């Protein structure tokens, strides 16, 4: 008989991540700023949850049969989550990814057995965009297309797990939640879970430059300007997972502010995170300032910094983009 404290394989070890109080962000704002440590999932990111939810839904509806193949277009982390879950359940994966993503993600996907197809980075309006390429590959081969952007199993997985965990871990003492969106599954699912308990809880979408979602929330338009080095977040369209999500507000965060938090968390709190987590913490600080002292704000620490060593912790790359470098590397 298995002890309750023992996880059942990989699948049982996804989720139930710690909620970490971020000391410097909390002190700076007079609020409690808490980060959900999703980098502690077995595949190293929040996307393990989406991978598990999407595969389970496909198994339940009968589209994914024993020995089958899942195809997905991804910035990397969802591909990793899907591949690891697929490995554990006996499925194959074909992962389509823009060639501009970090070398660490490319190497990791190959290491864990994904059939990786790199394609040129193109906008969603182009048929060569990685999402469209993945859909065509799935259709041509008769495989299951994970379709993380519009597959509502993504946000439903977060509603049932991540959102429920945050409510339980805070004991309901939470005033606001914020995070960035790639597919929108994390923000939408958590928002739905939290608002079901507390309708006046504030949900703020965090957005990098070069994405249209800030303007979509604040002005109802899909205008975008600028660019960002963050990977896997920001959009030129509204994915299906975001449609109808209860979002109250949005903040736009520059790469400079995101990197400041990445470096600060690493060197002062020993928490190594990637660019999207840095952006999320910067957004949580902005939300805290809007609300004033005494509030509790939760965000997502999406993945770890090691996945971006060649970019975020590469002074040559950062200087080439006109961005600040880690102070200890300068």
Question: How is residue 279 written in tokens?
Answer: 């952006």
Distance CA 235, CA 223 (A): 11
DSSP string, 205-250: EEEETT-SHHHHHHHS-----S----SS---SS--GGGTT----EE
Q: Report yes or no: 210 and 226 within 8 Å, Cβ to Cβ.
A: yes
Among residues 177, 320, 328, 330, the alpha carbon closest in space to that of 266 is found at 328
For residue 143, what are the β-bridge partners?
Answer: none
Whether 311 is catalytic: no
Rounded to an integer, what distance in angstroms lies between the CA atom of residue 15 and that of residue 6?
14
Give the neighbor-by-neighbor strand order of the sheet with 115-119.
115-119, 92-98, 69-73, 144-145
Is the separation of the CB atoms in 254 and 317 below 8 Å? Answer: no
Task: Tell me phi and psi for residue 10, to 5 degrees.
Answer: -60, -45
Helix (H, G, I), strand (E, B) or coil at 4: coil
Radius of gyration of the chain measured on its C-alpha atoms: 19
36, 47, 195, 311: which is the annotated catalytic residue?
A: 47
**Catalytic sites, residue numbers:** 47
């Amino acid at each position: 008989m298995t002890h309750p404290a023992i996880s059942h394989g990989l699948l049982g070890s996804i989720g139930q991540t710690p909620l970490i109080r971020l000391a410097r962000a909390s002190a700076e704002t007079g609020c409690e700023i808490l980060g959900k440590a999703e980098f502690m999932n077995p595949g190293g990111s929040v996307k393990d949850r989406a991978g598990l939810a999407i595969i389970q839904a496909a198994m339940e509806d009968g589209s994914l049969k024993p020995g089958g193949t899942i195809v997905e277009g991804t910035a990397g982390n969802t591909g990793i989550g899907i591949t690891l879950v697929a490995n554990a359940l006996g499925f194959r994966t074909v992962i389509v990814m823009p060639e501009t993503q970090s070398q660490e993600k490319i190497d990791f996907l190959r290491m864990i057995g994904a059939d990786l197809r790199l394609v040129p980075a193109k906008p969603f309006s182009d048929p060569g965009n990685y999402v469209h390429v993945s859909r065509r590959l799935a259709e041509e081969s008769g495989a299951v297309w994970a379709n993380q952007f519009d597959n509502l199993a993504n946000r439903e997985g977060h509603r049932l797990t991540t959102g429920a965990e945050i409510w339980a871990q805070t004991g309901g003492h939470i005033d606001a939640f914020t995070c960035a969106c790639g597919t929108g599954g994390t923000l939408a699912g958590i928002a739905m879970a939290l608002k079901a308990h507390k309708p006046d809880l504030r949900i703020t979408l965090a957005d990098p430059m070069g994405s249209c979602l800030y303007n979509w929330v604040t002005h109802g338009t899909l205008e975008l300007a600028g660019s960002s080095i963050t990977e896997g977040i920001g959009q030129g369209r509204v994915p299906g997972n975001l449609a109808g999500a209860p979002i109250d507000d949005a903040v736009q965060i520059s790469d400079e502010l995101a990197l400041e938090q990445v470096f600060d968390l690493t060197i002062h709190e020993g928490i190594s995170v990637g660019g999207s987590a840095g952006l999320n913490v910067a957004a949580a600080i902005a939300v805290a300032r809007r609300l004033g002292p005494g509030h509790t704000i939760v965000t997502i620490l999406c993945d770890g910094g090691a996945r971006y060593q060649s970019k975020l912790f590469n002074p040559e790359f950062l200087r080439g983009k006109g961005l600040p470098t880690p102070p200890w590397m300068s």
